[in-house]
Amino acid sequence: MTTWVPRSCTLPTSEQPMRVAESDALFARRHADVSRPERLRLELVLTGGEDVEETVRDLVARENGCCSFSTFTVPRPASMSI
Over residues 2-38, the pLDDT tens digits come to: 556 777 788 888 888 898 899 888 888 887 789 999 9
- Rounded to whole angstroms, the Cα distance separating 4 from 47 reads 27
Per-residue pLDDT reduced to its tens digit, 62-81: 988 888 878 888 887 544 44
Q: Evaluate if pTM is beyond 0.85.
A: no
Give dist(CA 7, CA 4) in Å, integer.
9
**The pLDDT of residue 38:** 93
